[in-house]
Structure 1
Amino acid sequence: MKLIEEKFEFVSETERLVIRPLKKADYANWLNEFENRYPSQNRHDLGKIDMSECTQEWFHNLVDKHQELALQDTAYVFGVFRKEEGTHLGMVDFSTLARDDFQWGRIGYTIHNQFWRKGYGQEAVKGALHLAFTQLKFHRIEAHINLDNTSSMKLAEAVGMEFECIRKGFIYENDEWTDHLVYYKNSK
């Protein structure tokens, strides 16, 4: 395994949260919150996940992979942590869709379901968008949302993202091409 010489260490802080890359020292906290997830609450929530393959070595490789993706400007993966005691609440990620004259990316987000309905998702996405525009230098961020994922739509709207369109047959999931709503936000 090669050692990564450089590190991407972009961080955003909100009133209650720290949004930052995962560190190898986060393993126990990260694993604990995945293991404490509730059963699935809806079809877009994975609920309990089998974490038996997620050893400490596996996690360390994941952290290295996230660093490599960031250094290549392919993707940026951030853990969401509660400031007060450092509890891992979920993840936010950005994928680079195009640079050059576009500076265009996609956002994905998830909060562990045991922390839902406390405003963490909205706070995390707001903080992450600030990071995307100021530190990652994106101009446009899109969220691609399943047509029936009303919680994700409400979150996107709550953080100032605007509905743009429905892209037909846009993403291949569950063995078929599915339509997705596109929400976007541009930097100021």
Structure 2
Amino acid sequence: MFFFFFQLFREFHLLTGTDIYKKTRHILEFYSENILASFSLVDNPINVALQEKMKQHTDEDVLKYMKMTATCLLLPDVFGEDPSLFVIVNDKVQVSTPVLEVKNPFNMDICEFSLYLEKERLTKVDDCVTALAALIAAFHVFGIKCPKQLSQTLNFLETLIFDMHSPYFSSMQAKEKEVGFQHPLT
């Protein structure tokens, strides 16, 4: 299974010149506090489970990991999009597009992340950063079109991963290739 991720990340790096794991980790670390704060007043099952589990831990690394996991799970909700096209928590995968399956997200001993495509598990990993990076890479490496009901979430992630300033990265990238546009050096 490790080999699959190595190959997927390697292909992504060859296609884009980007270290997707490093960028994804930075996004989750940087945005977790703001996203969780915005959901603190909402009676969301993810937030409720996170708050309950955080009461049981004091280790800063464990708490940081839990917050990053919750942020990953809440990303589609931030944009008002369909979370079932992004991540399935403790349930069966029903969609054909790339999606994450997460079991026991805040139980450090038995937490499990899996990447699915065409309702088939491609691989299983132990952390949310690798899982989210693999999900994003799968769309690019396999050339899968983003579902409309998930476009803002993936555009947000792609914008940050590729250091773009537009939320419309996919369509913009195609247009730039078509006209031969190059970004100015800053």
Q: Normalization by structure 1: what TM-score?
A: 0.29
Would you tell me which structure has more helix in proportion to its own residues?
Answer: 2
Q: Normalization by structure 2: what TM-score?
A: 0.30
Would you tell me which structure has more strand in proportion to its own residues?
Answer: 1
Specify which structure has the bigger relative contact order, considering alpha-carbon pairs within 8 angstroms and separated by 6 or more residues: 2
